[in-house]
Structure 1
Amino acid sequence: MYKLTIVAGARPNFMKIAPIIHAIQDAKANGKSIDFRLVHTGQHYDKNMSGSFFEQLQIPEPHVNLECSGGTQAEQTAAIMINFEKDLMTNPTDLVLVVGDVTSTMACALVAQKLHTKVAHVEAGIRSNDWTMPEEINRLVTDSITNYFFTTSELANKNLKESGVSENQIFYVGNTMIDTLLKQRPNFISPAIWKTLDLKPKAYIVMTLHRPANVDEESQLKAMIDEIINHTQDLPLVFPVHPRTAKILERLEISHPRLHTVAPLSYLEFNYLVENAKAVITDSGGITEEASVMNVPCMTLRDNTERPETILLGTNELVGTDPKKLKEYLNKLFSGRWKSGKDIPLWDGKTADRIVETLLHINC
């Protein structure tokens, strides 16, 4: 039996591993000798991570939650490594599969290699080249000690080759986040705010802001929201906001009749809002992928992106962090000049099948 340990540390990780679990279950049902153990490091505490969350994704609850939330970057990394080492020693495996770029990804890859266990990294090779982002450090460290690299784009392949990774270790498979999006799209559900505000398709804008550079610098946050309000005509602005950011907004006395802050939404509710929005304004990488596939205009409030394919082929534009630049992009949106998305290669809903086929081949 080929045994895999799959690691997830935060809610977006589960969107990425869900289709891989389904593909393993299908392979096993078809007589393949493969099984998995799911480890949740507990890196991000999320009150929405209830049993219904796993039911929506149609995956089993994790075999274990290491409960490593809180603390500084170093404290959390250490806690994950200590707890995962104990778990991996108790439950040895043939391969540890990590996804994305959270601290758990890096920490568990380190533990696995020191216990002489091979590592596969899903979403390998993406780069923002911004070392102020913790995620970029996590990507670089993880990819420096990975055995098998599963990539989402040709640029990721290029990044890995330029860093010295052998071509026979790189597997260009696509994007498992899009596997989940395409599978769950028929199941999207309208959140309460849809009825409360009497929202109409393509007649509101969704906002998300969470990066410290945008939300922790109060003058920056106020300037950004003021620009958004001033140049979005009469459209409602729906802003699912983290409680910490909500406190900053309250302290800054930021309010407007068209600005509607709501608590964080479930995956199915949030993507219902995105699919029906006129546009999305965000500083999230994952949302740019989903918006591009659903052909929704997307503005990214960052100076760099690790997902350039969403700009080259998708509906995303890199606005930057200067609030004054927003006006130009919003004018383009309201004048009907926004670009349409094109198909992004291998973002077709079959990525997880390719990953599991590759893993089975590797194990032959």
Structure 2
Amino acid sequence: MKIINIVGARPNFMKMAPIIEAMNKYPEQIEHLLVHTGQHYDEKMSKSFFDDLGMPKPDINLEVGSGSHAEQTAKIMVEFEKVCLQEKPDLVIVVGDVNSTMACTITAKKLGIKVAHVEAGLRSRDMSMPEEINRLCTDVLCDYLFTTDHFADENLAAEGVSKEKIFFVGNVMIDTLLKHKQMAAKSAFGEKLGLQPGRYATLTMHRPGNVDNKDVFEGILEALHEISQEVPIVFPIHPRTRKMADQFGLSHYFKSGDEIKGIWITEPLGYLEFLNLNMNAKLVLTDSGGLQEETTVLGVPCVTMRPNTERPITCEVGSNIMVGNDKNKILQEAFKILSGEAPKGRSPEKWDGKSAERIVDVLLNLF
């Protein structure tokens, strides 16, 4: 069985790493190639993630680079078609919900190649999010859908997907977290920065709904500034967020330099560095998807600054609280946590570090 594994952005690396490791246990049955579309590529950061996760260097890099959603998707399709025609795989595996996920799915299917989607069935019901469009298109086309929780199974069933295509395997990103948790703890990255466990917060924020409107962005920053008077907030700032803060004249909310106080910005961090920060934080504030899952397993309270989530399991059983971008709700929930009223939460079913093994077992049986 010849498989092409697709990655396009850093969150994909975390999901693909354990799958590749599981495939390597069956060299006689599985031949696999790793294709990096180059959708998000930063030499320093990508190398850091590949090194941290112990991933092999990509066999092929399409080097499509940045551009509008249409440009990027089109470039990936053109270049990936050449790879498929040359390599003639039996299966293409895509993960997550980035443009590479959808583009490679469409390309493979038009060539009659079967496609499997890892992390299928997640739905936010928010069509203003490009990721939601990518998820819907990908899941309609895929032959095998590997899901993380019961909500995803229910979403696919409601959309008319045959039960034979759906496989509940758990969360591969948690495979990566559990494997590297001890290594991240040893790195003591937070302590090297002068942070004391449980006495700081971490922040990620980049979504257009939060940073592209000045009034909304400033309201969030006002709330974060107030929180940062109680505990410093460490913010590995996203390039998009930095750009919009400069454009709106809001950069004065951020602190940098040696003294950690207020909303303290750093450059983007490697996987182990950021995991170390999050596992020792008092709380995490975010508008990302993956952090909602990671904090649930780490047992760290998470305040999600979005009106919806494609990962409701993290609210049902985990430590995730949805607040939208309302300043007062952000403050209310953050100060509850700081005063000791944090949700405890527990890990969802099959988030046990063995999801990738289940995926490979299914593929070996199918092929």
Question: Paired residue for 1:19?
Answer: 18
Q: Which amino acid aligns with 1:340?
A: K
Say if 2:205 and 2:288, in contact at 8 Å, map to a contact too.
yes
Asked whether the 8 Å contact 2:45–2:269 carries over to 1, the reply is no
CA distance in 1, matches of 2:357, 2:119: 15
Aligned match of 1:195: 192
- Whether 1:63 and 2:59 are equivalent positions in the alignment is yes
Aligned mates of 2:317, 2:6 — CA distance in 1? 30
* Larger displacement relative to structure 2 (166-175 or 54-63): 54-63
User: Which residue identity is paired with 1:331?
Assistant: F
For 1:187-336, what aligned pairs fall within 5 Å after superposition? 187-188=183-184, 189-191=187-189, 194-196=191-193, 198-250=194-246, 251-252=249-250, 253-255=252-254, 257-336=261-340
What amino acid is aligned across from residue 115 of structure 2 in structure 1?
A: V
For residue 234 of structure 1, report the CA deviation from its aligned partner: 2.5
CA distance in 1, matches of 2:339, 2:238: 32
Distance 1:89 1:339, change over 3 A: same
Task: Determine if the alignment matches structure 1 residue 139 to structure 2 residue 140.
Answer: no
Deviations 1:239-292 (A, max 9, x none): 110234224334323246422111110010001000000000000010111111
Aligned to 2:39: 43
Query: How far apart are the structure 2 equivalents of 1:247 and 1:55?
Result: 28
CA distance in 2, matches of 1:43, 1:50: 11
Would you say the 8 A contact 2:229–2:262 is kept in 1? no
> Is the 1:175–1:351 Cα contact (8 Å) retained in structure 2?
yes
- Structure 1's 12 and 317: CA in aligned 2 closer, same or farther, altered over 3 A? same
1:50 Cα deviation from its structure 2 partner: 4.8
Distance 2:46 2:114 in 1: 31
Q: Secondary structure of 1:352's match?
A: helix
C-alpha separation in 1, matches of 2:357 and 2:227:
44
Other structure's SS at 1:202 match: coil
Counterparts in 2 of 1:262 and 1:26: CA distance versus 1, 3 Å:
same
TM-score (norm 2): 0.94
| Structure 1 residue 330, shift from structure 2 partner | 1.7
Work out whether 1:352 is the aligned partner of 2:348: no
- Name structure 1 gaps, 5 residues minimum: none
Q: What SS is found at the alignment partner of 1:324?
A: helix
What code does the residue aligned with 2:192 have?
K
Aligned to 1:54: 50
* DSSP-derived class of the 1:123 partner: strand
| TM alignment of 1:177-188, pairs within 5 A | 177-188=173-184
SS of 1:76's equivalent in the other structure is helix
Which AA in structure 2 matches 1:20?
I
Q: Distance in 2 between matches of 1:357 and 1:219?
A: 50
Residue identity over aligned pairs, in percent, reads 50
- Given that 1:109 and 1:119 are in contact with CA atoms closer than 8 Å, whether structure 2 keeps it comes out as yes
Report the CA distance between 1:155 and its aligned residue.
0.9
Q: Write the distance in 2 (CA, Å) between the matches of 1:228 and 1:51.
A: 31
Specify the SS of the correspondent of 2:44.
Answer: coil
Paired residues of 1:232 and 1:330 also in contact (CA < 8 A): no
> SS of 2:67's equivalent?
coil
Q: CA deviation at 1:233?
A: 4.4
Q: 1:143-165, CA deviations, whole angstroms, 9 ceiling, x for partnerless residues?
A: 11000000001110111111111
- CA deviation profile, 1:48-85 (whole Å, cap 9, x unmatched): 34545323212211101001111111111100000000
Q: Is this contact kept in 1: 2:13–2:49, CA < 8 A?
A: no
Aligned residue pair count: 357
Does 2:2 correspond to 1:3?
Answer: yes
2:88 corresponds in structure 1 to: 92
Query: Which digits, 9 at most, give the CA deviation of each residue in 1:142-192, with x for residues without a partner?
Result: 01100000000111011111111111110000000000000011111244x
Could you state the TM-score of these two structures normalised by the residue count of structure 1? 0.95
Contact persistence 1:178–1:348 (CA under 8 A): yes
150, 154, 177: which one aligns with 1:154: 150
Cα 1:322–1:161 shift into 2, 3 Å: same
Give the letter for the 2:134 counterpart.
N
Corresponding residue SS for 1:89 = helix
Preserved contact between residue 179 and residue 349 of structure 1 (Cα < 8 Å): yes
Contact 1:48 1:266 in 2 (8 A): no
Structure 2 residue aligned with 1:338? 342
| Structure 2: gaps spanning 5 or more residues | 256-260
Deviations 1:67-125 (A, max 9, x none): 11111111111000000001110111000010000000000000000000001000000
